[in-house]
Structure 1
Amino acid sequence: MNLKAKIGADLSFTRNELRETDEFLSTITSIFISAKYFGLPSYGGVLAHCYGITLFLLLAALEAGAVWKIILVLGVAATDGRGLVARLSGCVFYGNALLSLILTWRFISSWKCISVLWTLAETTGGLYFPPDLKIKRRVIIVTCNFIICAIVEHVMSMISATGLDIPPEEYFDRYILSSHGFLLKPEEYNIWLGIVIFVLSKLATILWNFQDLIIILISMGLTSRYRRLNKFVDDFVRLEKRHKEKAKLGTELYAQVLTWRRLREAYVRQATLVRKVDQKLGKLILLCNLNNFYFICLQLFLGLNQNSNMGVINKSYYFYSLGWLLFRACSVVLVAADVNLHSKKALSCLYCCPGSAYNVEIKRLENQLTYDFVALSGMRFFFLDRQLFLEVAAAIVKYELVMIQYDNQ
């Protein structure tokens, strides 16, 4: 069998197999469709959009109230004994929910355009890459685990806020006054206001977790695409090694060079796709990382200054909540950093290509992968790579040391 026929037999795939690569797009679209139930109506109708606008207005009113309470504390007009840290935390929490609603809504609305570009990157170029048959299952597993861990953390926070020794009829009132004491005094509380705040707090928690989940899932899809491209390069280099002793002339030489050119163009399309996603997702990445950084620092600071006589329930919640925060923040950075890592992994395969098969298209692909920096970013203020993970960890440690020193003065 000649090289041209071998390429077709070893590295081409049928149209039916190619359709399986669309499972990632359809799975993500299904998740975005379900998001209309917690205020993200891009795939919903008129009622879903009215629901999203109402949620936006209520969150804006709640955030305005939290900001006003901070102003009162700064003006020494508050007398309820609540510190600035508690009020600031509530303000940041609902501010994040408000911004997350806006940015996530915008990203989901742009998903149809991104899906078209994603599909073109998959189907254009004449090369059919092996489908990632496990990507749908991985997305579902990650989403389900994310939901379960988030529910457990929130239930523990509710138990920690009230304790277990409370009559059921008093639970709701105590929970609202305890968890939202930065916003309400006991004399300002009524049951209807409590119900509204209760619902908004749950939706704000969902939005907080969902913004992290979106970044993780989209990064998984981009990495999967790079992994498939890299596997194709690896297989093709192995094929070149098996035929390195055979001279290639005419049609065979043209087929070889054409395949490498199409591979290089596939990497160009993939880099373009990553930059398009980064353009739409960058603001959400920036918000997500800033928010996670703030709450990790806050939890560590409160843990270092907490009372040693805390009950078992409060201690369990503190450690689980801190662990969940750290896990989410690390997952966002590390999974997104895989996009940058896999964008250059094919270089090691290209360096092993035999000299008899080396051509100008391989050289161009090497230069392209070496000098073209591809990564997701937070509006290009920072890029999500492995180095960022260490930089953030060092910043958290320095922040805690400064806060401890300041607190001891």
Structure 2
Amino acid sequence: MARRSCKSDIVLNIENNQHADSFCNQFAFFVTIGQFVGLMPLKKIKKNGKYDFYFQWFSPRIIYYFVNVVSSFSIGIFCIIEFSVYGFQLDKAGTLMFYVLNFFGAMVFLNISRYWSHIMDEWTHTEIALKSFREVKHFKRRLILTTVVATILATVEHLLFILNDISKTSVCKGEETNKIEEYFNIAHPQVFRLVAFSYWAAVLVKLANIISTFTWNYTDSFIILISSGLAVRFKQIAETIQNKNLQESDDKYWRETREDFNKLYQLCTVVDKHISLLVTVSFANNIFFICIQLYNSLKYREGFIEKAYYFYSFAFLLLRTASITLYGAWVNDESRKPLQRLHSVPPKQYNIEVTRLIEQMSSTPIGITGSQLFIVTRGFLLKIVGTIITMELMLLQFGPLIKDDKPKSFSISRQCNFTDTE
């Protein structure tokens, strides 16, 4: 398949032996993970130490991708049908949004995959064109470590989710009942309140749940790693300016520095164009679940596992939301960091290039955005907190949680009764 042409104004002949420390090569392992779970339907080719990824509509990877998408979509439909039959329950709306938002997230990854070769070509052009380009020590190791930590935390959260449902199964009465069936009735009532239990259906539902869970975590990690790749390049320019003897700077130096900064700005624009919708989905997903978890905090919880799952999942939600915000804000922070140094340029070295560089850094918003609706900065984290508080007050006002004052034995029996519409 022919390589997509770059729209960048940088015209360079890139050697076939691409540097091993380029972001395309460093990020290849994460794209491979996306291929494994069907989120990045790309064909991987390694040539002369260089990784290339190509998108093809007619390939087994596309079939695998649509299996992923259809699974989330199908469970989402079951959630809607359950609400239409048994009535809407606010504290259970999280299940619906979980599958719906992950469905949209998977759809966004298809669009990213279509233009991935173009994005990486732009990235490679920019890295080679930068005058201040140099190897970022241990950057791939940093990316891998971030991915491993995120995966471990997410795995623990999902295992606690499973253990929580198993603990509810263990208290259900009736020794003659099928414990596996009881587990799936508790864990996935949106399906098995509507259809009869069968083992093949249970396997499909569990696979859909695992795939959607991985999509959610992959989405957040993807944004974090992409933001890191952009931020370290802006950091190199900031360090170059910081370490430069301003008394020895001249027009040529400031012109080259401004051109480097502009190339990075153009790259950031290209990347943001393709991932901004994914950023919106990620923040919508995390903020919504933080609100739901706060709302569900009013519920009484029995047993250590149920309490451990709630507090761990809530802390994990806060951590991942803060991480995405801070890593996304890192791009904006590094792009503005040289401003203080630029204002210290001596009058004899001050020229039109310095003026243009200051104007671009201070007046042009640079960073990761959410569908061009907002730019991720450190201050955005405070806006998220304000939004969560506002939404939580609305939920408490318009969807009051019904407190269960029944005795413990009664509440346990209700957990095992799935014909009760409450």
Give the alignment's TM-score, normalised by structure 1: 0.83
**Residue 175 (str. 1) matches residue 175 (str. 2):** no
What is the letter of the counterpart of residue 400 of structure 1?
A: E
- C-alpha distance in 2 between matches for 1:277 and 1:355: 37
Deviation readout 1:111-139 (Å, 9 max, x if unpaired): 211111111111225x2433211321211
- C-alpha distance in 2 between matches for 1:387 and 1:342: 15
What is the letter of the counterpart of residue 217 of structure 1?
A: L
Q: Residues 129 and 232 of structure 1 are in contact (CA less than 8 Å); yes or no, is this contact kept in structure 2?
A: no
- C-alpha distance in 2 between matches for 1:137 and 1:322: 28
Shift of 1:205: 0.3
Structure 2 portions without partners, runs of 5+: 1-14, 44-55, 403-422
What is the letter of the counterpart of residue 116 of structure 2?
A: W
Structure 1 portions without partners, runs of 5+: 1-14, 75-82, 245-255
Deviation readout 1:188-242 (Å, 9 max, x if unpaired): 2111111100111001100011111111110011111100111111122x2x33x
Deviating runs (4+, > 6 A) in structure 1?
Answer: none
Which of 116, 121, 141 in structure 1 is aligned with 2:121? 116
Which of 309, 312, 316 in structure 2 is aligned with 1:320? 312
- C-alpha distance in 2 between matches for 1:138 and 1:377: 23
Provide the residue aligned with 1:335 in structure 2: 327
Bigger shift: residues 275-284 or 116-125: 116-125
**Residue 292 (str. 1) matches residue 289 (str. 2):** no
Deviation readout 1:19-38 (Å, 9 max, x if unpaired): 3641x321212211221221
Which of 280, 294, 306 in structure 1 is aligned with 2:299? 306
Shift of 1:108: 3.1
**Residue 38 (str. 1) matches residue 37 (str. 2):** yes
What is the letter of the counterpart of residue 393 of structure 2?
A: L
Bigger shift: residues 91-100 or 181-190: 181-190
Q: Residues 162 and 171 of structure 1 are in contact (CA less than 8 Å); yes or no, is this contact kept in structure 2?
A: no
Provide the residue aligned with 1:227 in structure 2: 235
Q: Residues 66 and 87 of structure 1 are in contact (CA less than 8 Å); yes or no, is this contact kept in structure 2?
A: no
Cα RMSD, aligned residues only: 2.4
Bigger shift: residues 393-402 or 329-338: 393-402
Provide the residue aligned with 2:147 in structure 1: 143
Deviation readout 1:336-385 (Å, 9 max, x if unpaired): 01111111111111122223322221122112212121121111112111
Quickly say closer, same or farther: Cα 1:145–1:306, change in 2 above 3 A: same
Give the alignment's TM-score, normalised by structure 2: 0.81
Work out the percentage of aligned pairs sharing the same amino acid: 24
Q: Residues 212 and 288 of structure 1 are in contact (CA less than 8 Å); yes or no, is this contact kept in structure 2?
A: yes
Shift of 1:400: 2.1
Map 1:59-208 to 2 at 5 A: 59-74=72-87, 84-85=89-90, 87-124=92-129, 127-163=131-167, 166=170, 170-185=178-193, 188-208=196-216
What is the letter of the counterpart of residue 306 of structure 1?
A: K
**Residue 381 (str. 1) matches residue 380 (str. 2):** no
- C-alpha distance in 2 between matches for 1:205 and 1:53: 16
**Residue 360 (str. 1) matches residue 352 (str. 2):** yes
- C-alpha distance in 1 between matches for 2:310 and 2:37: 27
Query: Which structure has more helix as a fraction of its residues?
Result: 1
Q: Residues 135 and 224 of structure 1 are in contact (CA less than 8 Å); yes or no, is this contact kept in structure 2?
A: no
Quickly say closer, same or farther: Cα 1:287–1:408, change in 2 above 3 A: closer
Provide the residue aligned with 2:19 in structure 1: 19
